[in-house]
Structure 1
Amino acid sequence: MNKKRMFQLNSLAGAILLAGSMQAGAAEIYNQDGKTLEFNVEGMAGIFSTDENYKGTSGGEDWQEAYLKGDLVGRSTIANGSSLYGGLGVIGLGTWGDGDAAGYTDGEERELKIENAFVGWQSSDGLLDFSFGRQQFTLGDGFLIAGDAISLGNISGVDVDRGGAYYLAGQKSFENTAILKIDPEGAFRSDLFWLQSDNPYHQDTELAGINLELVDEEKGTLGLSYMTVLDVEQNTGLSAWNQRDGMDVVSLRGQGNLGVDNLFLSFEYVDESGGDTATKIDANAWYVEAGWTFADLPWSPTLNYRHAEFSGDSNATANTNEAFDPLFFGFTRGFGTWFQGEVASNYAGPANTGNTVDRIELMVQPREDLTVGLQYWDFGKDADASDLSGTEVDLFALWSINDNWVFSPMVGVYNPDGSNVIANQGNDNTNLYLQGVLMYFY
């Protein structure tokens, strides 16, 4: 029971594992007679600078982002050893300075709001776990769902303001959920889920689905998921997801090492079809990934390669949309998953639709508290999608200062190649991108 879910990390806090440190434990407020109450704090602050922006004019941007989140989490044992649990949390966030390089924020965003508000029940044997309310949900590796993390700000002419802190993405909870986890003895487990977003970028998308997993703690996990989009608020936000309404999604994935030490393998294939609009959806995406850790060498280097493809729309099919909808993808098991390329995925594009991606990554650990990574990215276009081709190199580090603090600097060098991204950048110059993020967990 409570089978290990391979490599599932649900926030930027997950990157701490790459630095050899786990998130610090919560502060225990009360623990008596089967009742516990804990308080968690998570905060991040970042400074960002780029030589170029992606608003159609040449020039750089300098901005800052921050958020601070606090949660009360309680649990009480009741009859027959089952338990009730719940959480209530708030988040404050904002963006300062010029706003981000894509123009999704303008530096004037400030917001304080409820982030988590949920209750749940778990059976004494762990077979059933049902919860509902405002909370996060991640499906598999986060390729399709990793919380409701996109947080835009002030964009002229549209109503998409969610408080900013666009890059840090501290908000991850769906407005409302109902989640049933089924975890019997043996290799199989399952999730039934209903998710309702209040994110204007996602046009208040509502969806439901089922997830089945076969878990072998020695070899890895296979997963099969089906979901359907129940509702989308048409012509709101950026009007980017109108055709999502009624879409059916099937995902097959796997991740693990097949019982071979130092090996890492991962894949996923997603098919999207149907829809309730006049134009029907026929899209797909997939990736394959392999890595090897040279455990006997100094600094234990890990070399990883990934190839991914996300279908783009074809001009030859007037009544069919082949552009892949990336849904609620997010940051899970480290930089580049699934925001692929710090400049490309966050500002320049592409963002997991109408493109191909190749990534080579080298990770080393000079000390127990320090991890250094180098990534090379090559982006191409698919079918008749916008040409956002380019290359990027990202060098980053994760330094676990102590049990509570982590610092992560990054340098990115981005070269635009495609006609559309050159137009958005206002030139074809190499873009130097700098950032530093300080993280706190308690």
Structure 2
Amino acid sequence: MKNNNSTFLKLNALVAVLLSASAVQAAPVYDQDGKSLEFNVEGMAGIFSTDENYNGVDDGGNHWQEGYLKGDLVGRKATGSGSVYGGLGVIALGTGGDGDAGGYTSGDESELKIENAFVGWQSSNGVFDLSAGRQQFMLGDGFIIAGDAISLGDMGIPGVDVDRGGAYYLAGQKSFDKTAILKVDPEGPVRGDLFWLQSDNPYHQDTELGGVNLEWVYEAKGTLGLSYLSVLDVDQGAGFGIWDQRKGMDVVSLRGQGSMGVENLFLSFEYVNESGGDTAVKNDANAWYVEGGWTFTGLPWSPTLNYRHAKFSGDDASTTDNEAFDPLFFGFTRGFGTWFQGEVASNYAGPANSGNRVDRVELMLQPREDLTVGLQYWDFGKEADAADTAGNEVDLYALWSINDNFIFSPMVGYYTPDGSSVIANQANDNSNLYLQAVLMYFY
């Protein structure tokens, strides 16, 4: 999705660029005679602490560490019809200490594996780009597809193997195991994608899906997108077995994002409908959000005030259908809260974009060009007969660009449970103080 030129997006782009999986720099290794080779490095290391955890036992909080280091070689060679390109990268990752507060890692994980391995061809006029292999793919701004990012560890559950190496919060692994992606971007406002994606993530039960995406891009006003995808296969019964229902499910997404040509304005929305399926119980679920923001450029530190309301359907026990929304492959995209909503709630306590409604108010300030400070308030409520994970949360964070390569991001969160399910998981109704500090490196 192409950004417009509003001040809000310029400010929010700092968050998205610094924390997304894309490296902001590249080291050229070779560039001559139509051939190029570059080397990219990305790494993150974080320390985390909570007063409470969510294992159902009132035994205090968790203190843990996470890290990953990723390196990629990307090459390109000009041809008579365009250029061929390819990439190969590895990632080392792990978790130490007590493991995370949600119990998704034990604190004894480490792994070294291939993260990227792809080849592609781009036409000389840039209209066509065809690629295949192990690589990332994002749909829109990642509301339902933002890469294969969930990375659990050794949870110690007999008969359940979901270990992917850990580093659960930092989520450095984002590539789908197998892909075939055709991007079409001719002159004019319309562009599109055809895609086939195969996960090798045991949490996602090796989900396979295919789809088509169309976008109408108006540079001064924003982007409208319409997508259709179908879940082709799921390894039913694998992992936790919680995604058996998605096999054969059809998904339609309508979305938009931009400024409508109004400087300092930011608007965004998406509606997703899920239907059908190959199992006896059919899917009939939906999710949507609306969001608006304004940047006050005439005030000191250019404050941006943003509000979002999101709703994810929950199962209705009185019907024979499954109304619980399947959040698919959502991930971290354009800043804190997209689409892990609430640092404690979404990552550890719940909910995680199913059977809940969410209201968020955010204030962002930029005291200096290299420093962004944000304050978020979250309110969570339940939908239909979903587990009651109602609560509220306040998160205060900063992003400091130390230099061209290092970024430091501290955060303080304060989460208060309210719903019966999350109180049972926390084993009390105390408020939870959450602390984290993450150092990022890009080269």
Give how far 1:4 is off. Answer: 3.1
Give how far 1:126 is off. Answer: 0.6
Give how far 1:288 is off. Answer: 0.1
Consecutive unaligned residues of structure 2, counting only runs of 5 or more, are: none
Structure 1 partner of 2:375: 374
Paired residues of 1:379 and 1:389 also in contact (CA < 8 A):
yes
Q: Distance in 2 between matches of 1:13 and 1:237?
A: 36
Paired residues of 1:131 and 1:179 also in contact (CA < 8 A):
yes
SS at match of 1:420: helix
Question: 1:302-345: per-residue Cα shift (whole Å, max 9, x none)?
Answer: 0000000000001101x200000000000000000000000000
Structure 1 partner of 2:2: 4
Q: Distance in 1 between matches of 2:384 and 2:24?
A: 46
Match runs of 1:34-433 below 5 Å: 34-58=34-58, 59-80=60-81, 82-155=82-155, 156-157=157-158, 158-317=160-319, 319-433=320-434
SS at match of 2:352: coil
Residue identity matched to 2:359: D
Paired residues of 1:122 and 1:128 also in contact (CA < 8 A):
yes
Residue identity matched to 2:29: I
Q: Distance in 1 between matches of 2:130 and 2:371?
A: 38
Q: Distance in 2 between matches of 1:314 and 1:136?
A: 35
Q: Distance in 1 between matches of 2:53 and 2:43?
A: 27
SS at match of 2:346: helix
Q: Distance in 2 between matches of 1:422 and 1:234?
A: 31
Q: Distance in 1 between matches of 2:138 and 2:282?
A: 27
Q: Distance in 2 between matches of 1:412 and 1:437?
A: 14
Paired residues of 2:27 and 2:39 also in contact (CA < 8 A):
yes
Alignment CA distance shift 1:146-1:14 (3 Å): farther
Paired residues of 1:391 and 1:416 also in contact (CA < 8 A):
yes
SS at match of 1:422: helix
SS at match of 2:55: coil
Give how far 1:25 is off. Answer: 2.0
Alignment CA distance shift 1:239-1:112 (3 Å): same
SS at match of 2:203: helix
Q: Distance in 1 between matches of 2:368 and 2:125?
A: 40
Question: 1:115-167: per-residue Cα shift (whole Å, max 9, x none)?
Answer: 00000000000110000000000000100000000000001221000000000
Question: 1:28-68: per-residue Cα shift (whole Å, max 9, x none)?
Answer: 00000010000000000000000000000121000000000
Paired residues of 1:23 and 1:404 also in contact (CA < 8 A):
no
Q: Distance in 1 between matches of 2:231 and 2:2?
A: 29
Paired residues of 2:3 and 2:258 also in contact (CA < 8 A):
no
Paired residues of 1:16 and 1:23 also in contact (CA < 8 A):
no
Question: 1:166-214: per-residue Cα shift (whole Å, max 9, x none)?
Answer: 0000000000000000001100000000000000000000000000000
Give how far 1:434 is off. Answer: 0.2
Alignment CA distance shift 1:61-1:6 (3 Å): farther
SS at match of 2:344: helix
Residue identity matched to 1:435: Q
Residue identity matched to 1:303: L
Q: Distance in 1 between matches of 2:206 and 2:13?
A: 26
Q: Distance in 1 between matches of 2:172 and 2:349?
A: 21
Q: Distance in 2 between matches of 1:235 and 1:160?
A: 12
Structure 2 partner of 1:30: 30
Q: Distance in 2 between matches of 1:307 and 1:67?
A: 33
Residue identity matched to 1:95: T
Q: Distance in 2 between matches of 1:164 and 1:332?
A: 20
Q: TM-score, normalising length from structure 1? A: 0.96
The alignment-based identity, stated in percent, is 76
Give how far 1:230 is off. Answer: 0.1
Residue identity matched to 1:342: E
Question: 1:88-125: per-residue Cα shift (whole Å, max 9, x none)?
Answer: 00000000000000000000100000000000000000
Q: TM-score, normalising length from structure 2? A: 0.96
Q: Distance in 2 between matches of 1:174 and 1:25?
A: 23
Give how far 1:15 is off. Answer: 2.1
Q: Distance in 2 between matches of 1:14 and 1:146?
A: 18
Count how many residue pairs are aligned between Structure 1 and Structure 2: 433
Residue identity matched to 1:240: I
Q: Distance in 1 between matches of 2:389 and 2:23?
A: 37
Residue identity matched to 2:246: R
Q: Distance in 1 between matches of 2:152 and 2:83?
A: 37
Q: Distance in 1 between matches of 2:282 and 2:29?
A: 53
Residue identity matched to 1:247: M
Q: Distance in 2 between matches of 1:272 and 1:139?
A: 16
Paired residues of 1:18 and 1:334 also in contact (CA < 8 A):
no
Consecutive unaligned residues of structure 1, counting only runs of 5 or more, are: none
Q: Distance in 2 between matches of 1:348 and 1:337?
A: 17
SS at match of 1:403: coil
Q: Verify: 1:434 aligned to 2:435, yes or no.
A: yes
